């Protein structure tokens, strides 16, 4: 359940970054949502366990892991925007 929430949160951040904030509109909202979802997955699955203690029940919802997923998704979106504006990819 956590993985789906991380991916959904990252996708929403990517979509909101494109639609409301106007970050890299040339790339489009769908690609931004995919980049955000990938960042959410990496942040929740790989980064959060490094900094957080193991939960007693891994299936329980973890708010700090969601914050890590959102932060890494934002970092992925920032890096994607930087690459796009710098090299036009």
The pLDDT tens digits of the residues spanning 22-70 come to 777 778 889 999 999 999 999 999 998 888 866 655 667 788 889 999 9
Q: pTM score, two decimals?
A: 0.87
Please state, in angstroms and rounded to a whole number, the distance separating the CA atoms of residues 72 and 45: 11
* Domain total of the chain: 1
The predicted pLDDT at position 21 comes to: 81
Which residue in the block uniquely carries the two structure tokens 């970092």? 75
Cβ neighbors of 8 (< 8 A, separation 6 or more) are 37, 40
What is the domain extent for residue 57?
Answer: 2-87
Which residue in the block uniquely carries the two structure tokens 């193991």? 54
Give the 3-state secondary structure percentages of the chain, helix then strand then coil, rounded to 5. 75, 0, 25
């Amino acid at each position: 359940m956590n993985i789906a929430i991380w991916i959904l949160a990252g996708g929403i951040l990517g979509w909101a970054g494109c639609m409301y904030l106007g970050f890299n509109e040339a790339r489009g909202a769908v690609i931004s949502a995919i980049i955000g979802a990938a960042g959410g997955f990496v942040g929740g699955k790989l980064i959060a366990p490094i900094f957080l203690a193991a939960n007693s029940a891994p299936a329980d919802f973890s708010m700090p892991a969601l914050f890590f997923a959102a932060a890494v998704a934002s970092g992925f979106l920032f890096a994607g925007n930087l690459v796009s504006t710098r090299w036009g990819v």
